């Protein structure tokens, strides 16, 4: 070997591959190395699956919440209908605003079939039903059922799916009657009595969020103005944006367009604690799984050290015939890195396949749940287990596992390169 081998050249790669393939009795990779490989595989797969499910939770929950509630709220109860409409017209002209719809919202008590529960009535105009993305037919089915039709808007309402039929719901279907009792009162000879009225359920809607579907009732605007004694006034404007994340920019533009005529707040302020909890939870889970992955890669040190001990004679011979310290270091560095990278690659593959088939996996697990579900909609607030595959997370997880494997492999590889060939051959 008159000429030094090229770094990471064919000789070094051949030696590393030979040591990886060698049987244990011939001084090959130890059981600990295999355990470290399996540990890295499970850690990478777990991190990808966990991050994908948490991303799915966040995106699905926010989509459901933002589909059922305003992106920006504007208070207009101090204005008449005409004045509020004029302000809404100015807001609709602001770039980035897709709609601005007036509404009234009040808390009520609803009774039906001997059951009672609290609910939130939101009063809407028929033409504004099209702004609600979760109504796939733009509310036409509700209108056909009588919503907003008749004197003073009629007596037909829309009800959230879990409020209508959930475990704690009223047990009603379209066509059934419910009684709505308000916080307002009517004066009579017997004293003040709660204001109430019977309505017909015309349509059941689903926003995708159990929280909203357990709470909301939609009522025609004219009818609500009478029931809540808010004639010729709206309460709020429901402002929807092309990009719900850019609420601050939109509110500044709306303030300029309306001359600061309305007080506003956005959905982020309504859900600040919720968003912060999701962010902290995602960060802590990521750190936890990365620590577990780091612990798994530490086993590579023990495995490569044992391999070095078994190959002391080989190292001495290689050093004697001309392989330098750097060559020895690179050989054992490749051994440890390949163990980690193979575990990471398999973990990435299994993690991605799990997420791509998560619906089928959930359905399969439900077969063994004795009539129940592994992911109950009323418990978790969503209709199914969501997951979004983020390729950035996938590749960053793989690179982290590869980097950690290479880093921990440096220690035993450096120790192997410091072996004295004379001493090694003397004691062999």
Distance CA 292, CA 285 (A): 11
Mean pLDDT of 317-339: 78
- What are 216's two structure tokens? 């909301």
At 189-221, the pLDDT tens digits run: 666 788 899 999 999 988 877 778 889 999 999
Q: What is the pTM of this model?
A: 0.66
At 114-170, the pLDDT tens digits run: 899 999 999 999 999 888 888 878 888 888 888 988 888 899 999 998 899 867 789
- Tokens 């011939």 belong to 26
- Tokens 């008590």 belong to 109
| Residue 214 DSSP label | T
Distance CA 92, CA 238 (A): 11
What's the distance, CA 270 to chain centroid?
A: 18
* Helix residue spans in 219-322 (DSSP H): 221-227, 247-258, 267-270, 272-310, 312-320
Who has greater pLDDT, 67 or 157? 157
3-state SS assignment for residue 159: strand
At 32-63, the pLDDT tens digits run: 677 778 888 888 898 899 888 888 887 877 77
Confidence of residue 2 (pLDDT cuts 50, 70, 90): very low
Mean pLDDT of 232-240: 92
CB 234 within 8 A of CB 103: yes
CB 374 within 8 A of CB 365: yes
CB 225 within 8 A of CB 94: no
Distance CA 92, CA 111 (A): 38
Q: Which residues pair with 74 in a beta bridge?
A: 237, 264
Judge residue 297's burial from the number of C-beta atoms within 10 Å of its C-beta, 0-12 exposed, 13-18 middle, 19 or more buried.
buried
* Pick from 67, 64, 73: nearest CA to 239: 73
Mean pLDDT of the residues in the chain: 83
């Amino acid at each position: 070997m008159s000429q030094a081998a090229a770094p990471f050249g064919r000789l070094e790669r051949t030696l590393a591959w030979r040591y990886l393939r060698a049987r244990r009795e011939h001084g090959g990779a130890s059981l600990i190395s295999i355990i470290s490989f399996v540990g890295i595989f499970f850690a990478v797969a777990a991190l990808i699956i966990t991050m994908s499910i948490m991303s799915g939770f966040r995106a699905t929950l926010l989509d459901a919440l933002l589909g059922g509630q305003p992106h920006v709220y504007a208070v207009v109860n101090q204005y008449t209908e005409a004045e509020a409409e004029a302000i809404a017209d100015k807001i609709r002209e602001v770039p980035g605003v897709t709609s601005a719809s007036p509404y009234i919202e009040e808390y009520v008590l609803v009774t039906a079939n001997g059951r009672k529960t609290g609910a939130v009535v939101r009063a809407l105009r028929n033409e504004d039903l099209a702004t609600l993305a979760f109504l796939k037919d733009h509310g036409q089915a509700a209108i056909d059922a009588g919503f907003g039709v008749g004197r003073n808007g009629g007596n037909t309402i829309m009800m959230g799916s879990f409020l209508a039929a959930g475990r704690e719901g009223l047990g009603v279907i379209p066509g059934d009657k419910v009684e709505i009792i308000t916080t307002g009162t009517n004066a009579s000879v017997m004293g003040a009595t709660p204001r109430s009225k019977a309505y017909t359920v015309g349509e059941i809607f689903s926003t995708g969020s159990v929280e909203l579907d357990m709470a909301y009732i939609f009522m025609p605007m004219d009818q609500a103005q009478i029931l809540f004694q808010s004639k010729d006034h709206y309460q709020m404007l429901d402002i929807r944006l092309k990009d719900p994340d850019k609420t601050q920019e939109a509110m500044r533009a709306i303030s300029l367009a309306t001359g600061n005529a309305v007080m506003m707040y956005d959905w982020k302020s309504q859900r600040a604690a919720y968003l912060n909890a999701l962010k902290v939870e995602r960060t802590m889970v990521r750190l936890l799984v990365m620590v577990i992955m780091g612990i798994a890669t530490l086993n590579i040190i023990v495995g490569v050290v044992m391999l070095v001990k078994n190959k002391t004679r080989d190292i001495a011979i290689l050093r004697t015939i001309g392989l330098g310290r750097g060559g020895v270091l690179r050989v054992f560095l490749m051994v440890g890195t390949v163990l980690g990278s193979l575990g990471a690659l398999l973990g990435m593959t299994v993690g991605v396949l799990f997420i791509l088939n998560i619906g089928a996996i959930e359905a399969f697990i439900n077969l063994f749940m004795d009539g129940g579900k592994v992911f109950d909609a009323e418990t978790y607030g969503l209709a199914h287990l969501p997951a979004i595959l983020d390729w950035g997370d996938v590749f960053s997880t793989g690179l982290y596992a590869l980097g950690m494997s290479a880093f921990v492999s440096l220690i035993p590889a450096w120790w192997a390169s410091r072996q004295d060939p004379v001493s090694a051959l003397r004691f062999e």
